[in-house]
Amino acid sequence: MTDGNTGWEAYPDDAGATGSGRSAKMLGGGLAVALFAMIGAAGGWLLAGEDGASPGLPAAESDVSSSAAPSGVPSPTARTTAPTARTSGPARATGLTVPPVVGTDFEQARDELRDLRLSWRLVFGTESGRDVRRTVPPVGSPVQRGTTVALYVAGPAPSLSAPDLVGDDCADAAEDLVEEGLYPRYPTGRTGTVTAQSPEAGSTVHWNDEVALTCGEEPDEPSAEAPPTP
């Protein structure tokens, strides 16, 4: 009879154990441990697959492919705000401002605006006096060349006499009217010579009144005919 050890392998308890028997027995034990480890890992993966799915989500949504972004990296979101429209830059500053004309005579204030190459508009009031009460834009406001500044005058528009413009060049006559505080109107055009005006020269008018200038070619004077021979 034998004790089942047919390979004549020595056990660790045997006093006469040899190296080959010990190595074989240790190898067999190592394979068993590795096998149990693989079975345990497989069982743990199966349990994780059953319990790790997010509750309330369909299986298709909880099955993440290997190409999905790693956790902790935010997914790109759609742009919700429109790009800011590019606006033009601010107008180039000239250093020009509305001069301090409040309190001065309106005619002096007009001349000062003209010297600065600014336009003007006179707005007369109902009180007394020729002084400027306020301006629009206000005094000190930055402006560009050619800007129209309104001068608000305390009293009504003063009266004056209409100048005589008949025979003058139409463009020159218009400049003279503006200098006098009047405004030209052109019923027949702006070129040629002033052949008539309304109101007539010497008539009483007021600042800001219009004067109609009829411009064109001057009529030829009739030539003197020789007296008939007897």
Domain that holds residue 115: 106-153
Token representation of residue 41: 């890992």
If asked whether residues 147 and 167 sit together in one domain, one would say no
CATH code of residue 128: 3.30.10.20
pLDDT digits (tens, 9 = 90+) for 16-25: 444 444 444 4
More confident residue, 10 or 111: 111
In this predicted structure, the answer to whether residue 130 has a pLDDT above a threshold of 80 is yes
Domain-located, residue 62: no
Q: Is 172 part of a structural domain of the chain?
A: yes
Establish how many alpha carbons lie within 13 A of residue 33's alpha carbon, considering only the half-sphere containing its beta carbon.
Answer: 6
Mean pLDDT of 157-186: 96
Q: Is residue 95 part of a domain?
A: no
| pTM as predicted | 0.55
Q: Do 171 and 138 have their domain in common?
A: no
Asked, for residue 197, whether it belongs to a domain, the answer is yes
Q: Give residues with Cβ within 8 angstroms of 161, minimum separation 6.
A: 202, 203, 204, 205
Is residue 50 a part of any domain in this protein? no
Report yes or no on 142 lying in a domain: yes
- In this prediction, residue 194 carries a pLDDT of 97
Q: How many Cα atoms are found within 13 Å in the side-chain-facing hemisphere of 157?
A: 16
pLDDT tier at 98, thresholds 50, 70, 90: very high
Identify which has the larger pLDDT, 63 or 93: 93
Average pLDDT over residues 35-43: 45
One-letter identity of residue 37: A
Asked whether residue 190 is assigned to any structural domain, the reply reads: yes
Are residues 137 and 168 part of one domain? no
Domain count, the chain: 2
Tokens 């009293």 correspond to 155
